[in-house]
Structure 1
Amino acid sequence: MERILVVGATGAGKSTLARALGGRLGLAYREMDALHYIGPGWATNDRLTEDVSGLTSGSHWVFDSLGTPEVRDLLWRRADTVIWLDYPRRIVMARVLRRSLRRTVTREALFGGNRETWRGWLRRDHPAWWAWSQHASRRREIGRRSRDTRFAPLDTLRFAHPDETAAWLASL
């Protein structure tokens, strides 16, 4: 496990696990949202593909994302391990709702200095709406990719509950 991709639904805990893995295994941790959203108004990075390509050219890293469409195959080709947080919708939704509520109330600065807002809760791209609407399709996509021979050899560790993930992490 030297090039790790942590995947799952929005709110599953990808960033938290990837950060912990990076620290425990001495791998450079890369947060996809921080690379993708680079400025006010959720401005996106025009150089995302080049940036991700450079960061994944090394031999030791952990990314916390399935990857945006433009870098998805690149990440999956260069990874040697995929950790799939395949949690039920009820777990993911509880997590994302708590996180978004906290971020909205505290006005926590996020990627590119952006913040979640009360008005944002009404948008279809708000994390809560996104997590709900994308849960099933994200699950199918990850399942399909984990079986895709284009990405072999690729070790896939699939965890169905946060307790399984925590036990595995503690065993490292």
Structure 2
Amino acid sequence: MRRVVVIGTTGSGKSTLAERLAAQTGLRVIELDALFWGRDWQPVPLELFRHRVERETRGDGWIVVGNYGQVRDLVWPNADTVIWLDLPLPLVMWRLVRRTVQRAAAKTELWGTGNRESFRNAFLSRQSILLWALKTHRRNRERYANECMPLAKEKRVVRLQNKREVDRFVTMH
């Protein structure tokens, strides 16, 4: 396990899992959100995003965190392991609400971009990350099931469906 991709719906704990694995394995974490978002929540141009991802994933020893289809062709073929966090919606929403409230209250800057979560955007906006998680959870589960199955022939695919499985996986690596 030297080139790992961690996927899962918004709020499933991808970054947390990646950080825990990195602490155990010494692998470097690459947050796709950090490469994608510019100031004021503006996405960087696609060409720049792809260049950043390509640069960051050169060589060995990384954990890529994120679900961006725009760069899957750069990341997935080079990965030896795909970890799919397939957690139940109530757990995902609980974690996401807690994380969002903490970040908004602390005015935490995300990924060195100057971007911050706000209560207004989280709870009163059509771009709400909470609404996004509700709308995409089922669709992501179906999509990842279809996309991960064929990969199992050539890569290690790990589907983690509850906190106990996640904890067990981390302690084994």
TM-score by length of 1: 0.91
SS of residue matched to 2:138? helix
**Which amino acid in 2 is paired with 1:101?**
V
Partner residue, 1:92: 92
SS of residue matched to 1:135? helix
State the 1:152 CA deviation: 4.8
User: What does the per-residue CA deviation read over 1:83-141, in whole Å, with 9 as the maximum and x for residues that have no partner?
Assistant: 11110101100000111111122211113111111221222332211111110111112
Partner residue, 1:60: 61
Calculate the aligned-residue CA RMSD, in Å: 1.5
State the 1:32 CA deviation: 1.1
**Which amino acid in 2 is paired with 1:19?**
E
| Residue 167 of structure 2 corresponds to residue 169 of structure 1 | no
TM-score by length of 2: 0.91
Please, which runs of 5 or more residues in structure 1 have no aligned partner? Answer: none
Partner residue, 2:145: 143
**Which amino acid in 1 is paired with 2:163?**
P
Matches within 5 A, 1:5-24: 5-24=5-24
Please, which runs of 5 or more residues in structure 2 have no aligned partner? Answer: none
Inter-CA distance 7–57: structure 2 relative to 1 (3 Å threshold): same
Residues in 2 aligned to 1:73 and 1:138: alpha-carbon distance in whole angstroms: 18
Partner residue, 2:130: 128
**Which amino acid in 2 is paired with 1:42?**
W
Partner residue, 2:106: 106
SS of residue matched to 1:45? coil
**Which amino acid in 2 is paired with 1:51?**
R
Matches within 5 A, 1:24-103: 24-39=24-39, 41-46=40-45, 47-66=48-67, 68-103=68-103
Inter-CA distance 43–129: structure 2 relative to 1 (3 Å threshold): same
Residues in 1 aligned to 2:16 and 2:31: alpha-carbon distance in whole angstroms: 10
Bigger mean CA deviation after superposition, 72-81 or 118-127: 118-127
Percent identity reads 34
**Which amino acid in 1 is paired with 2:7?**
V
Residues in 2 aligned to 1:171 and 1:2: alpha-carbon distance in whole angstroms: 15
**Which amino acid in 2 is paired with 1:124?**
R
SS of residue matched to 1:12? coil
